[in-house]
Each structure stands twice: as C-alpha cells, then as structure tokens.
Structure 1
Amino acid sequence: MELRHLRYFIAVAEEGSLTVAADKRLHTAQPSLSRQMRDLEAELGCSLMTRGVRGVELTAAGRVFLDHARLVLVQVEGAIAATRRAAVPAKASFVLGFLTGYEFEWLTAVMGIMRAELPNTEVVILSLSSPDLADGLMRGKIDLAFLRHERNTTGLVFTRLIDEPLIVLMPADHRLTAQDAITPQDIAGEELVGVPHDKSPALRSVTDAYGARIGLDLTPDHYVDNLSMAMSLVASTRGIALMPLYARNLLPPTVVSRPLAGVPPMIDLSLGYNEANTSQLLQSIVARIGDLKFAR
C-alpha cells in the first residue's frame, strides 16, 4: 500500500464519485482510479465502498479506513514540515494578536520596538475577537495581544493602554447624520445592531451599563460577530450601532459615525500576555510599554 492509495481513496470518499474524483481532484483517468481502488480493497481483504447509480457510498469498513487514512496523511504532512524546519537554521517566532481593527493604530508602534529583533524573528500577526485572543494567550499560542481586559482568565497580565468612547454608526443617508452628536432621545426607537456577550463581553457590558444609565434598553435587534458584519447590517437594516471609536478605521462609504452627546460610555484597550511566557522579546516589549504610541 502506498500513500497515493490513501489520497485516492480520500478523494473518492469526499467526492462521492469515482468520475468526479478522477477529473477534478486527481486529474487521472477514471478507469485507472477504479483499478487503484480495487487493488486497495484486495490488499485489505474487504470492500470499502459500494458503487451505484447515485455514486459511491462507503461501507462500514470504508468509513473506519477513511478516518485512519486522513490521520496518516496528517501525520505524514506533519513529519515533512518538521523535517524541513530541522534542515534550516532555527528562527524564533513571535505571535502578535490584535482585536480586529486595532492593528491599524498599534502595529507600527510595536514593530518599532521590535525592529532590532526582526532579522532573527518571524512575526505572525493574528486578527481575532478579544475572547479568542485571551484564549490564545492562555494556551500559549499568542505571545502578546491588544485586547479588552477580559474577565475569567487565568495567568494573564493586562496593562491598560487607552480608554476610548463609544460612537454611533449609521447609514450615510440616515436622518441623524444632520446632527453633530447623538442624544439618548435620538437612539430611542431606532433599530439596534450589536454584539452578543460571548463574542464581545466587554463591549456588551459597557453598552448595557450605558443603557441603564440613560434609561434605555439597548438589547440589539440584530447581533453581529465583528465590525465588518456590523457595518453591513447597519447599511442594510438602516439601524444604528454603538461601537468603540476605533471603528472609524473600517468605515465603508455607506456608513458614517457621530459622537454621543454628554458623557459617553468608555471602553478599554489593554496589552495582554501570559505571565508564564519566558520570551525575551516579550519581556523587552513589556518593559517598553510606555514607549508605545498609537496613530490616531
């Protein structure tokens, strides 16, 4: 049995058709592929699939073999990658995480601090939600992240960088664009686009607290997972959204922003890392947090 037998079998199983697998996945002749599958079944001593007018269906043995075949190929690919890494001089890696949108303001500053290390360091940039960044820090998959001060985290150190106000996003032709600032009375009755607690607990908490302060229920009519979705729904539903000031970095032409009148609710941006992380580069950056300046 050869690795190509495994690849051929996986392609047939996933496509559900010998013809489709041969033409689109494997770029080989269908009779040749059929012969390879018969040879595989003969070597295993059992039938892996049944062939009918509706295509190919796996037998019980075929389903078991599929799981193992996939695992074998994953292990082979891992072995190849590890071998190639071992064949070249080791290069340190550093994973930077950003709450989506903040990289526009902070990446240049942090890379400036890291500049002396860059020739010997592979820098990986991730753009994720704040809870996902915190999870990556706890799991040791991210070295440093720009995120909210997430609660219910273990072993993480947070340093507050800035506090910024929430602003109102609305369609470019919305009636409220005529105003310089948006009051609580303006918000009342508007359709709201907002984030769920599990995706953005800090923003959800700040928004709900602001609603309690002004006497309005700010439970969203439409939930979104990220700023891009928020922009799309604001434009399509003609609703409004309360988002942090940095959302202005991502505004499309169809969406505009206005400040909130009075004392607006504020939300933090913090620098987070795992206290168990022994990276010298991390310690160097943390020691120079005061040097970080963002572009706004």
Structure 2
Amino acid sequence: MELRHFQYFVAVAETGSLTTAAEQRLHTSQPSLSRQIRDLGAEVGAQLLIRSARGVELTEAGLAFLEHARLVLMQAELAAKAAWKVAHPAKPVFALGFLTGEEMNWLPETMRTLCDELPNTEVTISSQNSPQLGQALMKGELDLAFMRAELNMPDLIYRHVDTEPLVAAMPRDHRFAAFDEVDPRHLVSETFIAVSRVSPTLKLVIDEFISKLNVGIRPSHEVDNLAMAMSLVASTRGIMLVPAYAENLLPASVVCRPLAGEPPTIDLVIGYSKTNTSTTLNLFLNRVDDLISRCLPRQARNGY
C-alpha cells in the first residue's frame, strides 16, 4: 500500500465521483484511478466504495478507512514539513520601522551598518506614524524604529539621532514662496493647516510655537499624515509647518521655506524595547554613532 493510494481514495471520497476526482483533484485518467481504487480494496480485503445513482458512496468499511487515510496524509505532510525545516532553518528577522519619509534619509546607511549580519538575517521594513511605531515596538513586532520620543511608553528606550527644524510648506506660486524665509507672524493672515493628534509630539511642538507667537493664528484644517497635508496645502493654498525632512516628499506643486528667527525644532530618535535581547539590535546600537556621522553631513549637503 503506497501513499498515493490514500491520496486517491480520499479524493474520491470527498468529491463523490471518480471522474471529478481524476480530472480536478488528481489530474489523472478516470480508468487509471478506478484501477488504483480496486487495487486498494483488494489489499485492504474489503470493498471501500460502491457506485450509486448519486455517484460513488462509501461503504461502512470505507467510512472507517477514510478517517485513518486522512490521518496518514496529515502525518505525511507534517513529516515532510519537519524535514524541510531542519534542512532549511529559518533566518532570524530584524524588523525596522521608520517615521514615514525618514527612510529616504536613513535606510541606505542603516542597511550598510547591518551589512555584516545581512547574510544571516532577514531585514523587514515598515513605514508608519510615530505612535504606531511605538506600539509595534512594545508588542515586539519591531526591533528598532526611527521615530519621535513618544510619551506614555515607559517600556521603550530612546536614543537621540537628529534635531530637525520646522519649515513652512506652501503652494509653489504662493507669494511667500518668493522669499528666502517666512516670518511666522505673517501666517495669521493665511489659511493655516494644523497637525492632528495622530502625531502628538509634532502637534505639541507646533502648538507651543504658535502659542508663543501670540498673534492669533487659528487652524482652518487638521491633517493626519504628510500625503494628506501636501494635498491640502495645494488645494486650499494653505500653509503648514512640517519637519524639514518632509521636503523629500513634496509634490511639484508645493515648496518649503525656512522660518525667520528661531524656528521650532523636533527630535528624531531611535526607539527600542527594554526587553529586546536581539544580538542584531545590540550590534546596531554599538554602531549608531558611526551611522549618524555618515548620514547627517550628507543630509546637510542636500539641504535638510
């Protein structure tokens, strides 16, 4: 009795038809399948199937055999999977997260930093807003993220990477686009687009800056992400304060200008869980200073 006999029998039993089982499940000829089923019955010493007006039906012996045949096939599949796993051990996974857009600045050198581990490690990349990255770190779904230092996440450790100024994003043909820098006090006369609570750290920085100006700037709209922000800037001819790295994501219709005076700033950090014992994470943390020294001069040359 061979494994294929069990496969053939189960296929016929589940479809209720020799023809259907042969053509759709087993991709063999119906006469060949009938012969295999007869040989199986002869070896078992009992009639397993009978023909009826409704097709093929199981005898009582066939019903008893079916349960064990399915178990045999399941065990054979498990055995094959177990052998494959031993022969092809899974690579450890190192999961990286980036505040949407920051991967353009930091991913290439991050991968270079990890290059020694790459042959033995599968690296995955995700792009999300900062609170989502923090939640993923705490759940163990990410090993490390370039993000904001989010409050109320005591299980995370943050390491400062960069401090970015905020700039004014506006339509390319806006009158302020002709200036080298924008006086933030003049935003009071413009359609001002604010950040929603989806990005609480950025929202806090902008709200505190607007409050200190004390010129009565009131937001006309709130946005949840940079893509939505750029669309709204272009469609409403509004102005929005964004971190300088957002210049990487600008459509042709939107430009950024520095703010006059002392602009607000926001920190970029790498975050990771206190309980993460990944050897790849430890290797990366030991090389962070070198990563920063390579990335920041290049970003300065590119104007952000």
Superposition TM-score, scaled by structure 1 size: 0.70
Letter in 2 for 1:263: E
Matched, 1:108 2:105: no
Q: After TM superposition, give the deviation of residue 145 of structure 1 in Å.
A: 0.2
Amino acid at match of 2:227: S
Checking the alignment, whether the CA contact within 8 Å between 2:185 and 2:213 is kept in structure 1 is: no
CA distance in 2, matches of 1:147, 1:220: 25
Deviations 1:106-147 (A, max 9, x none): 111211110011111111100000000000001110000000
Could you tell me how far 1:291 is from its partner in structure 2? 0.9
Q: In structure 2, do the counterparts of structure 1 residues 104 and 238 end up closer, same or farther at CA, with 3 Å as the change threshold?
A: same
Q: 1:212 to 1:284 in 2, by over 3 A?
A: same
| 3-state DSSP of counterpart to 1:276 | coil
Amino acid at match of 2:101: G
Q: State whether residues 195 and 220 of structure 1, in contact with CA within 8 Å, keep that contact through their aligned partners in structure 2.
A: no
Alpha-carbon distance between aligned partners in 2 of 1:184 and 1:262, rounded to the nearest angstrom: 9
1:96 equivalent in structure 2: 96
Summarize the Cα distance change of 1:152–1:219 in structure 2 as closer, same or farther, 3 Å threshold.
Answer: farther
- The residue number in structure 2 matching 1:169 is 169
Counterpart of 1:214 in structure 2: which amino acid? L
Are 1:136 and 2:136 counterparts?
Answer: yes
- Which residue of the partner structure matches residue 221 of structure 2? 222
Give the Å deviation of 1:220: 2.8
Which runs of structure 2 are paired with 1:3-82 in the superposition (5 Å)?
none
**How do 1:132-281 and structure 2 match up within 5 A?**
132-197=132-197, 199-281=198-280
Aligned partners of 1:208 and 1:218 also within 8 Å? no
**Contact 1:156–1:273 under 8 Å retained in 2:** yes
1:177-231 deviation line (CA, Å, top 9, x unaligned): 121111123211211122112x111110000110111114455321211111111
Return the alpha-carbon distance in structure 2 between the equivalents of residues 224 and 208 of structure 1.
14
Q: 1:151 to 1:217 in 2, by over 3 A?
A: farther
RMSD: 2.1
Q: Distance in 2 between matches of 1:180 and 1:272?
A: 35
For residues 224-279 of structure 1, give each alpha carbon's deviation from its aligned partner in whole angstroms, at most 9, with x where no partner exists: 11111111110001101100000111111100010000000010000100010010
| CA distance, structure 1, for counterparts of residue 217 and residue 228 of structure 2 | 18
CA contact (8 A) 2:96 2:145 kept: yes
Is residue 96–residue 123 contact of structure 1 (8 Å, CA) maintained in 2? Answer: yes
Is contact 1:208-1:217 (8 Å) kept? no
- Distance change (3 Å), C-alpha of 1:155 and 1:225: same
Is the 2:187–2:217 contact (alpha carbons within 8 Å) kept by the matching residues of 1? Answer: no
Residue pair 1:196, 1:224 contacting (<8 A) in 2 also: yes
User: Which secondary structure state, in structure 2, belongs to the residue aligned with residue 105 of structure 1?
Assistant: helix
Quote the Cα distance in structure 2 between the aligned partners of 1:184 and 1:100: 26
Q: State the secondary structure of the residue aligned to 1:110.
A: helix
Aligned-partner Cα distance in 2 for 1:219–1:141? 38
Distance 1:218 1:285, change over 3 A: farther
Amino acid of the residue matched to residue 276 of structure 2? Answer: N
After superposing on structure 2, the runs of 4+ consecutive aligned residues of structure 1 that deviate more than 4 Å are none
* Length, aligned pairs only: 217
2:188/2:218 contact within 8 Å kept: no
Q: Which has the larger radius of gyration?
A: 2
Aligned 8 A contact 2:149 2:269 in 1:
yes
Can you list the C-alpha shifts for 1:80-127, whole angstroms capped at 9, x where unaligned?
A: 9xx598463211111000000000111112111100111111111000
Once the two structures are aligned, what percentage of the paired residues are identical? 47
Q: What are the ranges of 5 or more consecutive residues in structure 2 without an aligned counterpart?
A: 1-9, 11-76, 300-304
**Counterpart residue number, 2:120:** 120
